[in-house]
Structure 1
Amino acid sequence: MDYKRIEWLFFIVFLLIDIYLGIEILHSPVNLSNADTTTQSVASIRSEMKSDNIDLPESISNTPDSGYYLATKNRDYLSSKVSDLTNVTARYSKTDNTLYATPKIATTLSKNEKTALKQVNEFKNDPKNVPYGKQFKYEPDMSSADNYMFVQTSDYGEIYANVAQLTISVKDNQITNYTETYMGPASPVRELQSTISAWRAIRAMYIDRELTNNSRVARIKLGYSKLTEVRGSTILLPTWLVWVENKTTKNITLKRVNAYTAQMLQSSTYNVER
């Protein structure tokens, strides 16, 4: 094996990633030191939102945060784990890189919500049931009575992407099946950088008409979303994730704001039954 050639290939790949990220930053510059300066006061914008029947959490931080550009290698992590899943009947689809599994023995859950969640976590954390299960964290704002949603974690934060999710389905207080996607370990490709504040993200959404009348901001947090793919790697960036509920339909939309540039990213809508 030509190790020198492999070393050069890795060097070229990460050089291309660095060039790509540099171009992204140049195309979408943000003066982070003045990221939260505004001609309108927080109270004024809150007043405007209230007149539009938009409800906000009582406290939204006006302090900048920080995050990394992360990269994961695009590999088939799940197919080799199928033979280890002795407690479930599993199959892996290369078409959508998804693992589908059904328990061989019925797992009956408690009718108490907290106890049931504990049981689901115990099921998830058993490597004979779910591969890499301990690397997934329960996400209540993306779950419903019939589906427990988990997002992949990393040393730098949670990853909110379709390619990093575990959904465990339940019917009549029993786990019926689950689907899983997994990105593998994530590592920084650039140094730690300042981000905009949570309030700056909300303000940007309002100015861009991403907060519609008669809605409620249920939650806001900093996580990671997929940016692009470069030479066999997936690039993730810090993202302000904002859950917005339509007061009439109760539909929830997960809005994504680039935490470096305040630009809107792709959002996703789903129904949550409480």
Structure 2
Amino acid sequence: MDFRRIEWIFLIVFVGLNIFLGISFFQSQEVDQAVSESTNSEIVADIQRDQIKLPQLSTKTPTGGYLASQANNVLMNNRSQLVDIDTTITNNSTLHATLRAPLPVKKDKAVATLKAWMQAPEHVLYGRHYQYAESLSSGNHYVFSQQIQGHKIYDRRAQITFSVANGKLTGYTQTYIAKMSVLKSNVELTSAQEAVLTLYKDNELANNAKVEWVELAYNYLLDTKGSTVYVPTWFVGVENQGAKSVTIKKLNAITKTVVKERD
């Protein structure tokens, strides 16, 4: 028996089988993508019929993961560094600051004024770790969200809210995450377009509504074993017909589930 010939036959069959399976998998992927694109096109058509206005939405799938932080007393331990500012702490984590001499703030220059003022450590602790979040701000309330290791956190546990009244800043509230650890990374997230389409399918977008903006940031997920877990979330600003304000809808970018408001 020619064993070498048999080996060659098995090798050829093995290679041929792998090529066949590879082609089948590739064709399957193409079919799944075609079906998905067709389905999305139908949903977009339904959205247009319901006269819902959408901005340009990206179909790119970013990556993210799960982050975790632990409770800290950083603000409480360092508030004595603030100058001419009276402070109180609630829940061991939220700092309430009252300026002894209110800061003049012009409406048209409010953001720039606050950005510059908060950089001084005697005015705001760790002020350089926050960036202005226009989509979370409204009226005379200017919100700055914390940036951690390149991750934008849109959550009340990591933000500063400046309240301006009668052209003056009299105080602010602040929360701060001292350290963030990565639980899981490089997870493929849903795209901005898919997030909005999912909200529509889940009846989160009313007829004649307008999607003003779509942003990806980290949001609170749960508390477990002494840690707070955060997950990538699509924040979608929606203005309903006749409304004078924007409602924020949230979608978990990993599980594609709607995030309901909670404490």
- TM-score normalised to structure 1 length: 0.78
Shift of 1:180: 1.0
Local SS of the residue matching 2:251: strand
The correspondence of residues 120-199 of structure 1 with structure 2, limited to 5 A, is 120-199=114-193
Task: Tell me what 1:80 maps to.
Answer: 77
| Kept after mapping to 2: 8 A contact 1:100/1:177 | yes
Mapped partners of 1:76, 1:54: distance in 2: 46
The residue that corresponds to 1:8 in the other structure is none
Which residue of 1 is the match for residue 42 of structure 2?
44
1:93 aligns with: 90
Aligned-partner residue type, residue 232 of structure 2: P
Q: Residue 89 of structure 1 contacts residue 102 of structure 1 at CA under 8 Å; is this kept in 2? A: yes
Native 8 Å contact 1:223 1:238 kept in 2 = yes
Matches of 2:257 and 2:159, distance apart in 1: 24
Stretches of structure 1 lacking an aligned partner (at least 5 in a row): 1-30, 269-274
Whole-angstrom distance in 2 between the partners of 1:238 and 1:169: 28
1:186-228 CA-to-partner distances (Å, cap 9, x unmatched) read 2211232111111111111111101111211111111101111
Counterpart-to-counterpart distance in 2, 1:212 and 1:163: 30
- Deviation track 1:111-160 (CA, whole Å, cap 9, x = no partner) reads 4x2x3321111222221111121111111122223111111111132111
Distance 1:35 1:234, change over 3 A: farther
Write the letter of the residue equivalent to 1:110.
K
Unaligned runs of 5+ in 2: 1-28
Under a length normalisation based on structure 2, what TM-score does the superposition of the two structures give? 0.81
* 8 Å contact from structure 2 (residues 101, 170) kept in 1: no
Which residue pairs with 1:13 in the alignment? none
AA aligned opposite 2:171 = N
Tell me which amino acid in the other structure corresponds to 2:45. Answer: S
SS in 2 for 1:192: strand
Identity %, equivalent residues: 31
- Partner SS, residue 206 of structure 1: helix
- Write the distance in 2 (CA, Å) between the matches of 1:45 and 1:156: 34
Q: CA deviation at 1:237?
A: 0.9
Change (3 A) 1:94 1:267: closer
**CA–CA separation in structure 1 for the residues paired with 2:205 and 2:150:** 28
User: How many residues were matched structurally?
Assistant: 232
Aligned partner letter, 1:174: K
Deviation at 1:251, TM superposition (A): 2.7
Paired residue for 2:231?
Answer: 237
Equivalent AA in structure 1 for residue 115 of structure 2: N
Name the aligned partner's letter for residue 36 of structure 2: T
Are 1:108 and 2:104 counterparts? yes
